[in-house]
């Protein structure tokens, strides 16, 4: 029997992905338990979902900490060298160095507080579920250490197409005929980390953004839970490509059937 993973879920919004994990955890189909839910937004509906399920919640005051970073970065005692962090980071692209350092300082303040909260719950895995903040290398190095990947993200597009915060909008606006959802490990770029699994759905001529998003979200729920189960069962292997990129492979005899089931479910309502 595989061991249950302890998850820390980070979110900013409605938390339907969290709900899907909580439901599967309650019904015994998820080989994991949600240990804590953290949000950057006090009003996030996802926090209510956690409270209803008796899961501890924590709120990080990103707004205040980002302001503090912006205004005080030159005087702050931070647990990391800001200039070194700026050289390593791949997420802030604006040219003004002091503005970048101020932003990074705010992120480090917020992430440091978040790490302290998370450590108390000893999570095996950090699950990003609609967390609308960029994470700096300071946070990612803390979890992606000793050669292990511990931060998971779900992205609403078939990566590497349409990274960023508008996955469904970009999928719809581009006119692609197949959309997709991706679970990947978070690295220091934006939606660029090693891909664990993907599921695809058809885009129909009569779709609008809402119907497309609805179809995609149903797949997200199944995909995220399945990826967590693969991790919990030790069925995830890492390889290095000839270009030095980390490649993830799922070692599960049921893998083809699971992919087929997802594809069939994405056709539901159409014959």
Q: One of 142, 155, 184, 243 is an active-site residue; which one?
A: 155
Listed ranges 14-22, 89-97, 186-194, 202-210: which one lies at the site for ligand GRF (CB under 6 A): 14-22
Contact present, 5 and 37 (Cβ < 8 Å): no
Return the residue of 102, 106, 123, 130 that touches ligand GRF, per CB under 6 A: 130
Q: Does 220 bind ligand GRF (CB under 6 A)?
A: yes
Phi, psi at residue 208, to the nearest 5°?
-120, 180
Contact present, 57 and 39 (Cβ < 8 Å): yes
Compute how many other C-beta atoms are within 10 angstroms of the C-beta atom of residue 229: 19
N-terminal to C-terminal alpha carbon distance within the chain: 39
Least distance in angstroms from the C-beta of 219 to ligand GRF: 10
Residue 45 known to be catalytic? no
| CB closer to ligand GRF, 69 vs 130 | 130
Contact present, 197 and 261 (Cβ < 8 Å): no
CB proximity list for 32: less than 8 A, separation 6 or greater: 4, 5, 6, 7, 21, 25, 125, 228, 229, 232
Q: Does 211 bind ligand GRF (CB under 6 A)?
A: no
| CB closer to ligand GRF, 125 vs 129 | 129
Least distance in angstroms from the C-beta of 19 to ligand GRF: 8
| CB closer to ligand GRF, 9 vs 105 | 9
Compute how many other C-beta atoms are within 10 angstroms of the C-beta atom of residue 27: 8
Q: Does 218 bind ligand GRF (CB under 6 A)?
A: no
Scanning residues 21 to 50, which ones bind ligand GRF (CB under 6 A)? Answer: 46
- Widest Cα–Cα separation across the chain: 64
Q: Give contact residues for ligand GRF (rule: CB under 6 A).
A: 11, 13-17, 46, 129-130, 154-156, 220
Task: List residues with catalytic annotation.
Answer: 155
């Amino acid at each position: 029997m595989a061991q249950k993973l302890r998850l820390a879920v980070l979110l900013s919004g409605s938390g339907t992905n969290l709900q899907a994990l909580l439901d599967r955890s309650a019904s015994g189909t998820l080989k994991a338990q949600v240990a804590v839910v953290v949000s950057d937004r006090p009003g996030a509906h996802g926090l209510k979902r956690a409270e209803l399920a008796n899961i501890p919640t924590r709120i990080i005051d990103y707004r205040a900490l980002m302001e503090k970073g912006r205004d005080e970065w030159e005087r702050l005692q931070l647990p990391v060298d800001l200039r070194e962090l700026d050289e390593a980071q791949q997420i802030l692209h604006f040219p003004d160095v002091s503005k970048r350092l101020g932003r990074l300082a705010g992120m480090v303040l917020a992430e440091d507080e978040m790490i302290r909260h998370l450590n108390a719950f000893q999570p095996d895995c950090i699950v990003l579920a609609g967390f609308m903040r960029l994470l700096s290398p300071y946070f990612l190095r803390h979890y992606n250490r000793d050669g292990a990947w511990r931060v998971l993200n779900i992205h609403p597009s078939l990566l590497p197409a349409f990274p960023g915060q508008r996955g469904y909008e970009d999928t719809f606006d581009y006119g692609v005929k197949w959309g997709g959802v991706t679970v990947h490990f978070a690295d220091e770029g934006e939606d660029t980390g090693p891909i664990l699994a993907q599921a695809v759905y058809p885009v129909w001529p009569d779709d609008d953004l809402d119907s497309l998003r609805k179809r995609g979200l149903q797949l997200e729920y199944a995909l995220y839970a399945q990826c967590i189960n693969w991790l919990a069962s030790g069925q995830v292997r890492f390889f290095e490509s000839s270009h030095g990129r980390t490649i993830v492979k799922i070692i599960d005899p049921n893998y083809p059937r699971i992919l087929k089931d997802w594809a069939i479910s994405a056709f539901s309502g159409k014959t």
